[in-house]
Amino acid sequence: MKLKSTLKIVAVLTLVFLNVGCDQLSKKIAREHITPNESIAVIKDNFILMNVENTGAAYSVGSNLNPVIKKILLQIIPATVLLVLLWLSLVKSKYPKEMVFGFCFIIGGGIGNVFDRIVYGSVTDFMYIDLGFFNTQIFNMADVSIVVGSLIIVAFTFVGKNEALKEHQEII
């Protein structure tokens, strides 16, 4: 039982650190190789790289807040939530591994963005997608991790419910 716990902790921390590492490395490359507000078309105008520093949250929400309120809302509360989620992922065994997998992506992405806010005072965003019928705001790899983690959790929630329903029907 102890080995299983240790393996879970190692797996969770490894996945979280891989997400943080990918995010921080990609932001470092963007900061070093793309001048602020420069626009580089990678795939025509469909995939563009640029270096934009976001001092707020998504869509720059909160950029103009009082600095103390901003610190509480964009650093302290998110860091606390991430620590609680990490603790739940490491300690609680009632969560299915698929859910913990999704949590790891969310935690890693969240840590990447909170780290930027604390160290740089802003979050480096550098990717933009425009497919005509679908376009994004400018984003970074931490945002990708958070979205992927959320999709994993949502998908597992629906699949898990369907599997539970099938098992219930088989019993009847």
Q: Any idea which residues carry the catalytic annotation? A: 125, 143
Q: How far apart are CA 29 and CA 31, in angstroms?
A: 6
The full length of the chain comes to: 172
Three-state SS at 30: helix
Asked if residues 26 and 127 have their Cβ atoms less than 8 Å apart, the reply is: no
Task: Pull the structure tokens for residue 68.
Answer: 């103390």
- Angle 77-91/2-33 helices, nearest 10 degrees? 150
Report how far Cα 51 is from the mean position of its chain's Cα atoms: 19
> Tokens 């949502």 belong to which residue?
154
Torsion region of 121: left, alpha or beta (phi above 0 gives left; psi -120 to 50 gives alpha): left
Q: How far apart are CA 56 and CA 122, in angstroms?
A: 7
